[in-house]
Amino acid sequence: DELEAAIWVLPDSGEADPAAGPRGEPLFANRMFRHMFGASADLGRLLEAGGAAAGWVPREVFHPGLGRWFELRTRRIRWVDGSSVRLLVATDVTRRHEAEERHREQDEKLQRTSRLVTMGEMASSLAHELSQPLTAIANYCMGLSARVRSKLAQGQPPDAQEMLEMLRKTAAQAERAGKVIRRIREFVKRSEPERRPCEVSAIVADAVGLAEIDAQRLGVSIDVHTDPDLPTLSADPILIEQVLLNLMKNGIEAMREAAHRRLALTSTRGDGMIEFAVSDAGKGLTPDAREKLFEPFFTTKTEGMGIGLNICRSIVESHQGRLWVEDNPDGGCTFRFTLPAPERTAVARAA
């Protein structure tokens, strides 16, 4: 790829504002430059698209005229006549760019497939979770009509207070069922990964809401601690929920034979980031598992795909965070990950 670089030198406008960019006819241009850009009008467009291409830090620029991606580097140097000039190097990275794009699309598909699989695995627990409020609703309704009928048989008006109370309970159960359905739908819906400001407490509540359904069935209790006043995250909430759910499911599954089945999920504030920790009291990691944990398709479970942790890591890293595991001193392990968070103090001061 390096061989395909276009190199050229422009007189330095000497402008303090780097965004203004260098302009004018090249003092020097290599063969690749002439081949790729020909006239300097095209070059102007490339630089405009590049905006403040002021540093030697490469910057990816799309050239609409050529329909290609370039990695643009620029630096001030001293020219043969002693004047200050700008050296520019544009490397054609279209192929790499396309490969990355394909990679990203595949990641997205895999992440969604995995969410569907997770829900599929949880189907019987979910059905059970939904049947409970439905049964309760049916019971309240039958109870209510029996009361009304017996009052009417006695020639008395039904007790309005009593009726209202039972209707309130019925509505609460319907809401509970609706919440489970909403969480499932949100979790599996097809959506482009999208960063937006989101509250940690809401993501945690949704993830725990889903994890608890399996936890209850296996007799695991989940302790949730979320620092009050955590800064707002810039993240894709569904993907972060997926990470939390994967880690909690692993923790729950690791405690199948444990005496104390407690899972802890904490979210705390660190320096410019938020740290999440999922801690279990399970069987811990074997040396083999520790080594291959994050490899795709590594699993020790008969029904595992071995894809959970691999996806967790790629999601966390795509958010510029880090994911790692530690052994707990008294058994089990703790998976931790960080996500960058803007400091709230800056906003508070500006306000």
Residue with smaller CB distance to ligand ATP, 35 or 301: 301
Nearest to 98 by CA among 56, 67, 65: 67
- Say what the alpha-carbon torsion angle 299, 301, 302, 307 is, to the nearest 10 degrees: -40
Which among ligand ATP, Mg ion, none contacts residue 333 (Cβ within 5 to 8 A by kind)?
ligand ATP
The stretch near ligand ATP (CB under 6 A) out of 15-23, 49-57, 258-266, 296-304 is 296-304
Nearest to Mg ion by Cβ — which residue?
Answer: 308
Residue 102 binds ligand ATP (CB under 6 A): no
Give least dist CB 170 to Mg ion, A.
37
* Type of residue found at 267: S
Site for ligand ATP in 229-258 (CB under 6 A): 246, 250-251, 254
R_g of the chain, CA atoms, integer Å: 29
Nearest to 148 by CA among 157, 135, 137: 157
Pick from 26, 50, 237, 308 the residue near Mg ion by CB under 5 A. 308
**In this structure, are residues 222 and 211 in contact, taking their beta carbons and an 8 Å threshold?**
yes
Site string for Mg ion, 248-267 (x = CB under 5 A): --x-----------------
Nearest to 22 by CA among 10, 37, 34: 10
Residue 46 binds ligand ATP (CB under 6 A): no
Residue 242 binds Mg ion (CB under 5 A): no
CA–CA separation, 99 and 85 (whole Å): 35
Residue 307 binds ligand ATP (CB under 6 A): yes
Residue with smaller CB distance to Mg ion, 104 or 301: 301
Which among ligand ATP, Mg ion, none contacts residue 289 (Cβ within 5 to 8 A by kind)?
ligand ATP
Which among Mg ion, ligand ATP, none contacts residue 254 (Cβ within 5 to 8 A by kind)?
ligand ATP
Spell out the residues 6+ positions from residue 244 whose beta carbon is closer than 8 angstroms to its own. Answer: 203, 204, 207, 208, 211, 265, 276, 278
Residue 293 binds ligand ATP (CB under 6 A): yes
Angle of helix 237-254 relative to helix 308-318, nearest 10 degrees, comes to 150
Q: Which residues contact Mg ion by CB under 5 A?
A: 250, 308
